[in-house]
Chains A and B, each alone.
Chain A
Amino acid sequence: MRCALPGFFLDSPAKAGAQGNRHDADPGPPLSRGNQGKATTKAMLLLLLALVLAPPALAVEPGEMLKDPALEARARAISEEIRCVVCQNQSIDDSAADLAADLRRLVRERLLAGDSDQQVRDFLVARYGDFVLLDPPVKPKTWLLWYGPAAIFLLALAAVAVYFRRRRGAALAPPPLSADEAQRLESLLADAGEGRGSP
């Protein structure tokens, strides 16, 4: 078992590398005056790498973390999907708001009490409604939200199909005469047959 200190979160190779690069970015002994230009480029590259790979600052404070890494990982996963009701476009995992910290602690408390992930989510939904879930649940009220885009796409597909079918039909043969048109044509032909000029 590993310790639950911040280092625990840096155990993936990429993140561990980032941590190392941060120190490497300091111009250390190897970057002597002899090859200043190269050294500067190298330092810049390392700095760039460090910036790219640096893990984002965590809102989760060390004191909040659970000793059991498996539970802590579950807590983090849940927290990432829970909306901070104060700063609404952040998850409680990202938010530095007081209430977010309280909710993070609460999530961990429930997990320690033996709740399943779903039970923890239900616990929060009972208090704050579906709004606390960053991922809206699929239910009749949200069908339009979830299936609306697919429905619009199918509708558009149908419209395109109808359009092309009509166009092809029109190109192949003129539409048959309607009853009115047929009658008119007949009377015109009859008029012509009688040899009378137009009025």
Chain B
Amino acid sequence: MTTAPDRPAGTRPRHLLYLLPVVLFVVVAVYFLVALYSSRDPQEVPSALVGKPAPGFTLAPLLPDLPGVARADLGGSVVLVNFFASWCVPCRAEHPYLGRIAKDGGLPIFGIVYKDKPDAARAYLAELGNPYARIGMDDSGRTGIDFGITGVPETFVLAPDGRICYRQWGPVTDDDTEQALLAKIKECRR
């Protein structure tokens, strides 16, 4: 006999159908595993402002010998804008990295004191040192909202054309994040 034993028509697809739940399970499981082990922080809100021009603002100086920050000071070269506050614990952890990033990245950091008492902010800088080239006070938090921040610290890399090129959400408190930020700064320079 040359012909293979015939199957009644239509049974083959039905057998495959039995595998469907298993396939579905695998798909869902992989999806969950990826989400579980990815480093994405669900608290992190994607910035709506990346690629857009920085918002307008003019902030009064915090220190007598250091100028404040305004929109007009941005542009021309790559600049880092760092929102911080003395009441913000992660900012304290991030602080030593800021000076290094300014040096290694070869760029000025403009600080914006977000909703803080001027005295407390001055004491904070006196204690930890001042990595900032300019510091402005955002008492009302309006500039923070205009930058779309959801908390402090947040750091923005501003391109030479005054656009927001990258937003660092949360503090830079490890070497990997620092290197990633430095790489972004390099990219924004182009």
Q: Please give, as numbers and ranges, the residues of chain B lying within 8 Å of A106 by CB-CB distance.
A: 142, 145
* CB-CB contacts below 8 Å: B146-160 with A: 146-148, 150-151
A116 on the B face (CB < 8 A) = no
Number of residues in B with C-beta < 8 Å to the partner? 21
B27 on the A face (CB < 8 A) = no
Cβ-neighbour of A98 out of B45, B48, B115, B147 (below 8 A)? B115
Q: Please give, as numbers and ranges, the residues of chain B lying within 8 Å of A165 by CB-CB distance.
A: none
CB of B43 within 8 A of CB of A88, answer: yes
B105 on the A face (CB < 8 A) = no
B24 on the A face (CB < 8 A) = no
CB of A102 within 8 A of CB of B145, answer: yes
Q: Please give, as numbers and ranges, the residues of chain B lying within 8 Å of A131 by CB-CB distance.
A: 45-46, 48
Q: For chain A, what secondary structure do more than half of its interface residues adopt (helix, strand, loop), or is it mixed?
A: helix
A129 with B150: in contact, given A102-B141, A175-B9 (CB under 8 Å)?
no
B3 on the A face (CB < 8 A) = yes
CA distance A198 to B107 in the complex (A): 94
A103 on the B face (CB < 8 A) = yes
CA distance A131 to B148 in the complex (A): 11
Cβ-neighbour of A125 out of B45, B48, B145, B146 (below 8 A)? B48
* CB-CB contacts below 8 Å: A116-169 with B: 125-129, 131
Contact with B along A165-186 (1 / 0, CB 8 A): 0000000000100101100100
Q: Please give, as numbers and ranges, the residues of chain B lying within 8 Å of A125 by CB-CB distance.
A: 48
A127 with B141: in contact, given A98-B115, A175-B9, A184-B3 (CB under 8 Å)?
no
Q: Please give, as numbers and ranges, the residues of chain B lying within 8 Å of A128 by CB-CB distance.
A: 45, 48, 148, 150
Q: How far is the CB of B45 from chain A (nearest CB, A)?
A: 5
A53 on the B face (CB < 8 A) = no
B173 on the A face (CB < 8 A) = no
Residues in B lying within 8 Å of A, measured CB to CB: 3, 6, 9-10, 42-43, 45-49, 115, 140-142, 145-148, 150-151
Q: Lowest 7 A-B CB distances belong to which pairs?
A: A129-B48, A127-B148, A85-B150, A102-B141, A128-B148, A131-B45, A85-B45
| 6 A-B interface contacts by CB (under 8 A) | A98-B115, A127-B148, A128-B148, A129-B46, A175-B9, A175-B10
